[in-house]
A and B are shown apart, each in its own frame.
Chain A
Amino acid sequence: MTDAADLRRRTAELLAAHPAADTGPLDFLRARFDAGLAWVHFPEGLGGLDAPRALQAVVDEELAAAGAPDNDPRRIGIGLGMAAPTILRYGTEEQKRRFLRPLWTGEEVWCQLFSEPGAGSDLAALATRAVRDAAGNWVVDGQKVWTSSAHQARWAILIARTDPGLPKHRGITYFVCDMTDPGVEVRPLRQITGEAEFNEVFLTGVAIPDAHRVGEVGEGWRVAQTTLMNERVAIGGARIPREGGMIGVAAENWRARPELRTHDLHQRLLKLWVDAEAARLTGERLRQQLSQGQPGPEGSGMKLAFARLAQEISGWEVEFLAEGGLTYDDWTLRRPEGVDFTGREAGYRYLRAKGNSIEGGTSEVLLNIVAERVLGLPPEPRTDKDVAWKDLPR
């Protein structure tokens, strides 16, 4: 099996063949993928070496030290965090070979066409239809909403209803949708920060070849579970340093602006610092469990913890800044490439963090999941379980 020394050697070879300073970023990333150093736990030929996931850190550290370009994981988070693990698990060999390389290098951005106006938390209620034509391919009609990055995306993971006669979880199929198809219309949806990270997406007669179906017909809900699980656990293998992220910005402000300090703010900052450190350690513990191949249920909780923390810290920060908290850096409608939690000002962070407890499953829904699947508490009474989707009240 590939070990740390082996990976260090391979990384050195990559850097020798493609010196970071005079190789174009894209060429470097392609070479890195082909060397199996993109995500080392992926199979050989697909950017990996079947190595233990924990060893990714070895490669990342060496490459960062050498000043090599990275693939800007924040910009392509949906592809990396959600599409890739799903395609790896359920995709055909052809799909893996076609999609994973440009996904990882960032040449092709992905988005997630899941949510709909009538199906948010109750995602399985979705109404977008996919109907099979004579040749066995699919025609898709419907409307999606809150789609982050749709305006940049080359591809989308999409779930659509293929059998309205079955109960809602069973008549769904999972596809890869070509965002350049003429039937796809993307309209920006402006959000509270002034930006438009996400979109409404209208699908009208979109033709999807059967070769772009992921998993069996009618198995889409099960495939989507892989996506959703990865979405919620998308913590990555990277270690977060102490005072990483928002708490670091808050602490830095505190140190830099003694004139703004009050006793009340001090008490609250210390509590937030402790909470952030405990959350960091919980993530660290999860990472160690994953690297030993024994994933613990902590993963389901991390998103909850980070959402609450981000909201509390950013709220504290606006308050700390006093008059400075009354201003906002920029309300211009922008179409950002990613979410910027440390670069922009406190007001932006405060507003954007409100989305942390909604995106990727609301905190309420995640608490239900923890309660039922981790603690084993009795389920909610269900009225929709055995009813055909078409007969459900809407």
Chain B
Amino acid sequence: MTAPMTGGTPRRSAPAPAPDPEPDLLYSDHEEALRDAVRSLLADRSDPATVLARLESDAPYDARLWRSLATDIGGAGLLVPEKLGGQGASAREAAVVLEELGRCVAPVPYLTSAVVAVAALLGCDVAEPEVAALLGALAGGGTVGVLALPLATAPGAAADGPVAGGTGFGSVRAAGDGALVGRVTSVADAAAAETLLVPAQGPDGPALYAVDAAADGVRTDPFIPLDLTRPLGHLTFDGAPGRLLATGGRARAAVERALLTGAGLLASEQLGVAEWCLAETVRHTSERTQFGRPVGSFQALKHRMAALWLDVASARAAARNAADALATESPDTAVAVAVAQAYCAPVAVRAAEECLQLHGGIGMTWEHPAHLFLKRAKSDELALGTPGRHREALADLVALAAP
């Protein structure tokens, strides 16, 4: 018989905050329409062979693809209110775009510019002309902006001073006239950015500045990344002219909002990566014959794929929950994001590792795209906080204190 699988009402002493109101975990028709548009664009312009070929060219970004996605489909402005030049959509829609981008590891600065940088600006005072102008430029897709923090920075880790595993407002110092001095390592999409949003220690404490990437006193040193589809660079500021966007608590909150939004929506990208890996593995093992049978008919393999399917289905629920919490500004957002990252990051890595293994030798080759997904999955695992860091965050959030 079926026993009640989760048991009855729990007894609680120090309860974890209840997720309320009920999150909407499905996709709306409108979101599905957006998905179709993004998917068909990507099918035309960004199949794995194209992505692979581009990586070996001098321009790892596909500028035409970015323009179509950002401008024609209006993807770049999804998070920006209409009156500021955006689409006035929400994190739920941006999450759907990221799922699709994950499914083809598209080399475009969507997460960094349209999600993280936009979220940082939305955390500033949007009535300020400087902030509004920048938001409009990013929303239109004509400008790429990035938040100048190491890709690995987790929400909550942008402390005032330099901190282990991430750097906060302490890496860069700002003089009274806004001149910035300092260095930030491993910034995603640094080379593609026209505008840098720089957290710095100003004369009166933490502050957020905008800097033109092409300005005097800014140097970008790209280096060879593990994930070729999301280039990284070190930024050095040597008297670069910064325009003040926010100070004090507001600056801190803006950066935190950017990191939380980025981490929460990264889960959807990870979901997309995992989905592609599973689908491709099912396809390959159904066709590849050994011992007179398709290898996908061997139970040892079937069970691994079925287990992965279950993980992907759960990752979808966790990722949708985070997107919905961000979209509705739920008080549960911090928990939802930590759960989504702690859960989805390892699922994407495992899916990519299983994909490689179950492809056999061909999975080890450069020409097969499996490695692109593995590299993305593994570097996504570090991005915006490792699963371990997100679990640690949960310990505080849901009252499960360490020994």
Contact = CB atoms under 8 A, between A and B. Distances in A.
Decide whether A and B are members of one complex: yes
Interface of A: 73-74, 77-78, 81-82, 111-112, 148-149, 198, 231-232, 234-235, 239-246, 248-249, 251-252, 254-256, 258, 261-263, 266-267, 269-271, 273-275, 277-282, 284-285, 288-289, 292, 297-298, 301-307, 310, 338-343, 352, 355-356, 359-360, 364, 367-368, 370-372, 374-381
A77 B286 contact: no
Nearest to A270: B391
Nearest to B5: A306
Given A198-B1, A281-B314, A355-B3, 9 more contacts: A148-B1, A248-B10, A269-B400, A270-B395, A270-B400, A274-B339, A301-B309, A374-B306, A380-B297
A274 B343 contact: yes
Interface string B278-291: 10001001100000
A225 B321 CA distance: 33
Q: Which of B296, B315, B400 has the most CB of A within 10 A?
A: B400
B12 A378 contact: no
Interface stretch (B17-25, B50-58, B252-260): B17-25
A278 B13 contact: no
A244 B10 contact: yes
A59 B320 CA distance: 27
B83 interface: no
A356 B307 CA distance: 16
Contact of B403 (A249, A262, A364): A262
B376 interface: no
B18 A242 contact: yes
Contact of B310 (A232, A277, A288, A370): A370
B14 to A, nearest CB: 5
A277 to B, nearest CB: 5
Chain B interface bracket (under 10, 10 to 19, 20 to 34, 35 or more)? 35 or more
B317 A281 contact: yes
A375 to B, nearest CB: 5
A298 B320 CA distance: 15
A230 to B, nearest CB: 9
B320 to A, nearest CB: 7
Interface string B360-403: 00000000000000000000000000000001101100111111
B309 A370 contact: yes
A376 B282 CA distance: 8
A262 B307 CA distance: 30
Interface of B: 1-19, 22-26, 278, 282, 285-286, 293-294, 296-297, 299, 302-303, 305-307, 309-310, 313-318, 320-321, 339, 342-343, 391-392, 394-395, 398-403
Contacts of B22: 239
Contacts of B285: 377
B395 A266 contact: yes
Given A241-B10, A378-B286, A301 B24 contact: no
Q: Top 9 nearest A-B pairs by Cβ distance?
A: A248-B10, A245-B6, A341-B7, A371-B302, A261-B403, A281-B317, A378-B297, A245-B7, A370-B306
A6 B40 CA distance: 44
A271 to B, nearest CB: 7
A339 B3 contact: yes
A361 to B, nearest CB: 10
Nearest to A146: B1
Contacts of A271: 342, 391
B259 to A, nearest CB: 19
A232 B316 CA distance: 21
Nearest to B347: A278
A301 B317 CA distance: 13
Contacts of A252: 10-13
B318 A281 contact: yes
A378 B395 CA distance: 43
Contact of A248 (B11, B296, B302, B320): B11
Given A242-B19, A246-B6, A274-B391, A367 B317 contact: no
B7 A374 contact: no
A177 to B, nearest CB: 16
A289 B316 CA distance: 13
A244 B317 contact: no
A177 B242 CA distance: 82
A292 B24 CA distance: 12
Contacts of B5: 235, 245, 302-303, 306-307, 310, 356
A252 B15 CA distance: 8
A74 B8 contact: yes
Contacts of B278: 375
A22 B314 CA distance: 45
A376 B283 CA distance: 9
A356 B3 CA distance: 7
B317 A251 contact: no
Contacts of A234: 2
10 contacts: A242-B19, A273-B394, A282-B317, A298-B313, A306-B5, A339-B3, A342-B9, A368-B299, A371-B302, A375-B309
Given A360-B1, A377-B302, A266 B296 contact: no
A264 B25 CA distance: 33
B70 to A, nearest CB: 30
Nearest to B395: A270
Given A256-B13, A273-B398, A278 B282 contact: no
A137 B273 CA distance: 58
Nearest to B339: A277
B7 A284 contact: no
Given A273-B398, A289-B26, A266 B403 contact: yes
Given A273-B394, A375-B282, A342 B314 contact: no
B6 A74 contact: no
A376 B314 contact: no
B99 to A, nearest CB: 15
B305 A375 contact: yes
A245 B12 CA distance: 11
A364 B318 CA distance: 25
B293 A381 contact: yes
A341 B233 CA distance: 53
A240 B6 contact: yes
A240 B23 CA distance: 13
